[in-house]
Amino acid sequence: MRLLRGLAGACLAGVILTACAGAGFEGAPPPEWQDPALQPNQVWTTDDGQGIELAYNTYGVTQSGQPAILFLHGWCENRWFWKPTATALQERTLCVTVDLPGYGDSSDAGAPADPVVWAQRLAEFAMGVHDGPWVVVGHSLGGVVALETARHLQTAERASGVVVVHGLYDPSREFDKEMTQAFAASMQKDFTGQIDAYVNALVPPRSAGALSGWVANQMKATEANVAIAGLEALEGYDLITCLKALKVPVRAINAGMRATNRTANQRLIADFDVFILESIDGPGLDLMLQDPVGFRALLDRALQEFSAPSQE
C-alpha cells in the first residue's frame, strides 16, 4: 500500500527546513478572534451515538449556480485561520469553516485521528448544512481530509472540486516514518518549544510580523496528544487510492518551497493543476494569511475552473 507523502512532508517541513526571508510585503494582521456578526455557538453533533461535536461558522448564503465552500484547517490549527478568506468570499457564496475533531472547539470524544473517519463525518456535516454542491478547501493536514471529504461527497454527487493548500508537492515520494516519529518524540518532551521552532522556520517573524506569534499561540493551544495522533494517523493513510478515485478537479496552491511534481499528480488525478504563490520566497505555512490578497487571487482562479458536480 502506498503511503501519504507530499502532504505529510509539507506538514513536517519545519523540522528540516531552514527559515528563509519572506516576500517583500508586510505581514498580514492576525485574524480577529471574536466577531459579533457571526452566529454564536454553531455546533453540529454526530448522530452515531458517540456525541462528537463539530464547531463551525458560516459566512454568507448560497448563491444560484455557486457551490458552497467548506474550509478545513491544518495541523494544530483551527477554523479561525480561514476567517479572512471566508469573509472575503461571503458575498459570492456560502462559506463554512469548521474545527476538525479534537481541534479548536470541536470535541474528539475518543474519535480516532483518522482522515477517512473524519472525512465521513465532515461529508455528513456538509450535506446537513447545505443541500447543494461543495468545493472543499483544505490546508496541510486539512488537505488530506479535504481530498477524502470530496471523495465522499462525490459519491453523493455533491462535489465540485478540491483545493489543497501547501500539499501534494510530490505524491510519489515515500512517507518518512522516521522523521515523523522523531518529531513526535520531541513534541512529547517539549511541545510548546517544538511548535515555536516549527512556526519560526515556516512563518519567520521578520517577514510575518505579529502573525507569526498569533499562529504559534493558536497551534500551542492544541493538546499535545491530539497533535501527535494527527501526525501518526498519516503513516498508514493510502493517499494514492484516494487520488485515483477522484473524478472532480483538484487544484493545489503551493509556495515555492520546492517544486510541485505536476507530472506525478497528473498520473493519479484525472484533472489536476497547481498554482504557485510567488510572493512567498521561503517555505511558507499559512499562505492564506501570509499573503491573503495573492492567495485569494489563486483561489479565485481555481474556483473558476470548477463546474457542476461530477457524475460517478
pLDDT in tens, 43-54: 888 776 667 789
pLDDT digit string, tens, across residues 77-112: 999 999 999 999 999 999 999 999 999 999 876 667
List, in order of start, the domains of the chain with CATH numbers. 6-17+45-304 (3.40.50.1820)
**Average pLDDT in the chain:** 84
The rounded Cα 303 to chain-centroid distance in angstroms is 16
pLDDT digit string, tens, across residues 129-181: 999 999 999 999 999 999 999 999 999 999 999 999 999 999 988 777 888 88
The pLDDT value given to residue 311: 45
pLDDT digit string, tens, across residues 3-29: 333 344 444 433 322 223 333 344 566
Going across the sheet that includes 272-276, the strands are 43-45, 53-59, 95-98, 68-72, 134-139, 159-165, 250-254, 272-276
Confidence (pTM): 0.88
Above 80 in pLDDT, residue 72?
Answer: yes
Among 165, 85, 99, 160, smallest CA distance to 130 is for: 160
Q: What is the dihedral of CA 71, 302, 62, 28, to 10 degrees?
A: 50
Task: Please give the Cα distance from 309 to 153 (Å, whole number).
Answer: 9
